[in-house]
Amino acid sequence: MKIPYGKHTISQSDINAVVDILRSDYITQGPASEMFERQVASYCDSRFAVATNSATSALHIACLSLGLGPGDYLWTSANTFVASANCALYCGAKVDFIDIDPLTYNISIEQLKQKLKNAENEGKLPKIVMPVHYGGQSCEMAAIYKLSQLYQFRVIEDASHALGGKYKNTKVGSCVYSDITVFSFHPVKMITTAEGGMAVTNCENLFNRLKLFQNHGVTRNECLMEKRSKEEIWNYQQIVLGFNYRMSDVHAALGLNQLKSLNKFVKRRNEIAEYYTDNLEYLNITCPKILQDILSTFHLYPIRVKKTGKNSVSQKWLYNVMQDENINVNVHYIPVHRHPWFEKLGFKKGDFPEAERLFKEVLTIPIFPTLSKQEINHVIRVLKRHLS
């Protein structure tokens, strides 16, 4: 079997936790999903959490909760998974992108500043900016927060890669610099529920709205219900158009047990990353750089193939060589605006050159907690053989 670029870690106690739930009274909407929400909120120092059936769903209701709609703009990174942009389109809003910093591959603060200046002149400021913590490294949130105060936009962190990460002594998800933070529990992410996601926030009002949109737009809170005569009132009302985006207790039971291993997973990924960097940094490639005051979760370990210099090779060539050596490297990401669907919306090649350059040079090599020493050394050996 090929070594994958990412993989879930499932223990016997994870299996037991899921089996226990299957034998219990509730397999959905029971105590496990609520407990999972409380524990994730507590883990990342935020007040409220809403568990969903995917991060994509959580991003969608995060946008809705902040009132994103037709005529509005959401800006996100050009270097991300399509879900970061699609959530705005689901709301009937428009999406635009911010080019990346060539060092961190996160959104460039300089580009964001310039784009905001231009947008202000044209009267097209975004309602929401969505930084994406690429590979598990937090964006420069203090600078983004400052700009949000200046230009009056709201901030949703797409932290799909970054549960367990830190920024300037705050946990990713503490929402010190944002309105809402979203996590993914897809199997390649930091912890898994098979499919699943979560939105966390410190604002009670936003929490109530997230909960509404997650659960059919239905409330049992009398204060939120429309006043009706005594005979007409029952114990719930639909007051907005919501969705069934809930997480089942079966999934939540897995998440709850996985959460116990999160710190261990982050530590192991950082050890592997350090070992990779120690062994690879003198080759003609660029290893990932983590800024000061940031703890990355190393969801990804992106290397950048250089087109010039000693022993330079092309990304495509190295990709094929690694596949032949049973190493399933990947490319993160095709810049969102280069997908046919987004080109139909008017984006084109050349719009976000740094993200496009990364796309042509990047390979994400295997990194996950159970990657064995032999596998790690195999990856290093193959890279050394072909790059030196």
Residues of this chain that bind ligand PLP (CB under 6 A) = 54-56, 80-81, 83-84, 132, 158, 160-161, 184, 186, 197
Q: Of 24 and 86, which has the nearer Cβ to ligand PLP?
A: 86
Q: Is the peptide bond before 333 cis (omega within 30 degrees of 0)?
A: yes
Backbone angles phi, psi at 254, to 5 degrees: -65, -45
Handedness of CA 220, 225, 216, 66 (dihedral sign): negative
Left, alpha or beta for 137 (phi > 0: left; psi -120 to 50: alpha)?
beta
Q: Of 54 and 202, which has the nearer Cβ to ligand PLP?
A: 54
Three-state DSSP class for residue 319 = helix
The residues pairing with 293 across neighbouring beta strands, listed in sequence order, are none
In the complex, the smallest distance separating the C-beta of residue 258 from ligand PLP, rounded to whole angstroms, is 14
| Amino acid at position 288, single letter | P
Q: Of 96 and 318, which has the nearer Cβ to ligand PLP?
A: 96
Q: What does the radius of gyration of the chain's CA atoms come to, in whole angstroms? A: 22
In the complex, the smallest distance separating the C-beta of residue 300 from ligand PLP, rounded to whole angstroms, is 9
The 10 Å Cβ neighbour count of residue 168 is: 13
Cβ atoms 157, 131 nearer than 8 A: yes
End-to-end CA distance of the chain: 27
Handedness of CA 95, 99, 105, 108 (dihedral sign): negative
Q: Of 86 and 237, which has the nearer Cβ to ligand PLP?
A: 86
Q: Of 56 and 330, which has the nearer Cβ to ligand PLP?
A: 56
Q: Of 294 and 383, which has the nearer Cβ to ligand PLP?
A: 294
Three-state DSSP class for residue 95 = strand
Interhelix angle for 249-259 vs 31-43, to 10°?
30
Three-state DSSP class for residue 333 = coil
In the complex, the smallest distance separating the C-beta of residue 294 from ligand PLP, rounded to whole angstroms, is 17
Q: Of 86 and 277, which has the nearer Cβ to ligand PLP?
A: 86
The 10 Å Cβ neighbour count of residue 230 is: 5
CB-based contacts of 116, cutoff 8 Å, min separation 6: 125, 147, 150, 151
Cα torsion at 9, 13, 15, 18 (round to 10°)?
-120
Q: Of 199 and 283, which has the nearer Cβ to ligand PLP?
A: 199
Q: Of 79 and 219, which has the nearer Cβ to ligand PLP?
A: 79
The sheet with strand 170-171 has its strands ordered as 170-171, 166-167, 294-295
